[in-house]
């Protein structure tokens, strides 16, 4: 093994090992691939979180996935709770999706012209979702949200948007903005390269804070095009919001002629077929989708009423387009996946499994007096190192707790369980996680928590 590589994943100076800590799995091949990747890509990756900056070691290079399992380049097998960050609600390599993709691609990969498959996926979605009447397919969640913001601005003829600290909406300029200082704040850009002028149009406030929102509306009244919130914020921990607060968002936006946008890129088709809108029984004006909608292929969508969608080109004056939008292979994958999700009882069974899994981790941690809370909604779970029973805003999360996550993450990898490489990331239970694998994963989590709290 190259010395430099060896050092990279075994020579982490700050790393403290205690009794019970398990020896590292071999990551030699992944480490060699990573060294090579660093020559080609910034940080060796094509999306930053993959670089394992917040956990020990170097990223695992994945060779294949099947069901709830992942295998890396060194042949290590893992029970996967990252599930490609959410899209794989049926697990890896689901036969129905695989077959739909293969049979579709026999006829060509892309035409840049309409296909019946787009109608089919749209019909499947719209017939089973009372919150939107028309939609437009795009190729990622970022694109869906960016387009939804433009639509809201075009429809209301207003420029400002309000977003919440702790919600992620992809990497478009208007949304790479974080809270500045002061009570009602213009945001500050959270990335180099975002013009300050964009941040000036984005007001950022804390979640679960009615007064802050009232102040923002008092200050900017007729300037606010939309309030955007994640269906249930799940990109910065799992920040459960009260139904009453979401109803308040609905009311205050309506009262001021602003639109309410639910970014359901994670929660859409996850909490249920109709996502967070149905979970709260609140009807937003625009909803964005991504992740699950494409069955593992790059698909996003935004939808709204017929009236609002009438503003999108070529019907209306809000321009939005895409060379590969509605790509037939991606549509086929989406149809195959959503057809499974639409079967009776699908969500009931999946959510029950995830609830039991989360509850038993919580029981174990509580019995041992570990400072751990397992938050769960639908098939999303988040293991937080805290003793707070409610975490509803980004500011409720203790940054130091992430050191504990780092240790747990390492111990879990060494025990064959793959969680997202950051303590701010939630986990996903898929339909492919069987009782047996969930039992094995639980045992690995219990042992890892024992190491964390040694």
Ligand X SMILES: *Cc1c(COP(=O)(O)O)cnc(C)c1O
CB 381 within 8 A of CB 357: yes
361-388 core/surface letters (b: 16 or more CB in 10 A; e: else): bbebbeeeebebbbbbbbbbbbbbbbee
Stretch that binds ligand X, among 57-65, 108-116, 166-174, 306-314 (CB under 6 A): 166-174
Q: Does 270 engage in binding with ligand X (CB under 6 A)?
A: no
Distance separating the N- and C-terminal Cα atoms of the chain = 32
Position 145 contacts ligand X (CB under 6 A): yes
Q: Site for ligand X (CB under 6 A): how many residues?
A: 13
| Contact with ligand X (CB under 6 A) among 169, 353, 406, 433 | 169
Kindly report whether the peptide bond that precedes residue 314 is cis, defined as omega within 30 degrees of 0: yes
Which member of 263, 353, 364, 424 is catalytic?
A: 263
Question: Could you tell me if 1 and 28 are in contact, meaning their C-beta atoms sit under 8 angstroms apart?
Answer: yes
Residues 6+ apart with CB under 8 A from 418: 60, 70, 78, 79, 80, 81, 82, 412
Please say whether the dihedral angle defined by the alpha carbons of residues 193, 393, 257 and 137, taken in this order, is positive or negative: positive
CA distance linking residue 416 with residue 84, whole number of Å: 17
Tell me the three state secondary structure of residue 49: helix
6 counts as catalytic: no
Shortest gap between Cβ of 49 and ligand X (angstroms)?
A: 10
Q: Which residue, 168 or 217, is less far from ligand X as judged by CB?
A: 168
The catalytic position among 168, 302, 311, 347 is: 168
Phi, psi of 429 (to 5 degrees): -95, 135
416 binds ligand X (CB under 6 A): no
235 binds ligand X (CB under 6 A): yes
Q: Is 263 in the site for ligand X (CB under 6 A)?
A: yes
Residue with tokens 């047996």: 436
- Among the listed residues 21, 58, 129, 140, the single contact to ligand X using CB under 6 A: 140
Of residues 278-317, those binding ligand X (CB under 6 A): 290
Residue 177 or 361 with smaller CB distance to ligand X? 177
24 is catalytic: no
Going by C-beta distance under 8 Å and a sequence separation of 6 or more, which residues neighbour residue 357?
381, 429, 433, 438, 441, 442
The residue among 44 and 166 lying less far from ligand X, judged by its C-beta, is 166
| Nearest distance from C-beta of residue 11 to ligand X, angstroms | 33
Task: Pick the binder of ligand X from 59, 91, 141, 334 (CB under 6 A).
Answer: 141
Q: Is 368 annotated in the active site?
A: no
Q: Which is nearer to ligand X, 179 or 265 (CB)?
A: 265
Q: Which stretch binds ligand X (CB under 6 A): 5-13, 62-70, 127-135, 260-268?
A: 260-268
- Specify the residue, 139 or 362, whose C-beta has the smaller distance to ligand X: 139
Q: What is the smallest separation between the CB atom of 235 and ligand X, expressed in angstroms?
A: 5
State how far the Cα of 316 lies from the Cα of 385, in Å rounded to an integer.
49
What does DSSP say about strands 417-418 and 77-80: parallel, antiparallel, or unpaired?
parallel
Where does this chain touch ligand X (CB under 6 A) — which range of 138-146, 212-220, 242-250, 370-378? 138-146
Query: Within a 10 A sphere around the Cβ of 315, how many other Cβ atoms?
Result: 11
Nearer to ligand X, 88 or 361 (CB): 88
Q: Which residues contact ligand X by CB under 6 A?
A: 140-142, 145, 168-170, 230, 235, 263, 265-266, 290
Q: Which residues are catalytic?
A: 168, 263, 291
């Amino acid at each position: 093994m190259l010395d430099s590589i060896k050092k990279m994943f075994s020579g982490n100076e700050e790393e403290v090992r205690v009794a019970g800590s398990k020896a590292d799995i071999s990551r030699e091949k992944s480490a060699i691939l990573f060294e090579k990747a660093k020559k080609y890509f910034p940080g060796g990756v094509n999306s930053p979180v993959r670089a394992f900056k917040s956990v020990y070691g170097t990223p695992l290079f994945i060779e294949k996935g099947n069901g709830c399992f992942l295998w890396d380049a060194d042949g290590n097998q893992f029970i996967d709770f990252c599930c490609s960050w959410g899209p794989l609600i049926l697990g890896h390599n689901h036969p129905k999706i695989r077959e739909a993709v293969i049979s579709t691609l026999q006829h060509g990969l892309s035409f840049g012209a309409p296909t019946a498959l787009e109608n089919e996926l749209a019909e499947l979605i719209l017939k089973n979702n009372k919150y939107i009447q028309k939609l437009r397919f795009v190729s990622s969640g970022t694109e869906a949200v960016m387009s939804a913001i433009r639509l809201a601005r075009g429809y209301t003829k207003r420029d400002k948007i309000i977003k919440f600290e702790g919600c992620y909406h992809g990497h478009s300029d208007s949304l790479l903005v974080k809270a500045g200082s002061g009570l009602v704040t213009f945001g500050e850009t959270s990335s180099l390269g975002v013009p300050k002028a964009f941040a000036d149009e984005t007001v950022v406030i804390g979640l679960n804070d009615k007064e802050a929102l009232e102040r923002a509306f008092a200050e900017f009244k007729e300037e606010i095009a939309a309030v955007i919130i994640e269906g249930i914020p799940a990109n910065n921990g799992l920040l459960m919001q009260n139904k009453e607060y979401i109803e308040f968002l609905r009311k205050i936006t309506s009262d001021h002629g602003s639109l309410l946008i639910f970014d359901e890129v994670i929660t859409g088709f996850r909490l249920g077929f109709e996502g967070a809108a149905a979970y709260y029984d609140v009807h937003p004006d625009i909803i964005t989708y991504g992740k699950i909608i494409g069955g593992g292929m790059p698909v996003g969508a935004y939808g709204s009423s017929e009236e609002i969608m009438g503003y999108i080109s070529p019907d209306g004056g809000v321009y939005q387009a895409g060379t590969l939008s509605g790509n037939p292979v991606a549509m086929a994958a989406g149809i195959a996946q959503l057809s499974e999700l639409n079967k009776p009882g699908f969500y009931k069974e999946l959510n029950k499994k995830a609830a039991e899994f989360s509850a038993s981790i919580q029981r174990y941690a509580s019995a041992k007096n570990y400072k751990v809370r397992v938050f769960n909604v639908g098939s999303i779970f988040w293991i937080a190192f805290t003793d707070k029973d409610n975490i509803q805003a980004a500011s409720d999360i203790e940054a130091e707790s992430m050191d504990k996550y780092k240790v747990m993450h390492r111990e879990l990898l060494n025990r064959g369980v793959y969680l997202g490489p950051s303590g701010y990331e939630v986990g996903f239970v898929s339909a492919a996680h069987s009782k047996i694998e969930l039992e094995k994963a639980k045992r690995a989590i219990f042992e890892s928590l024992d190491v964390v709290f040694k």
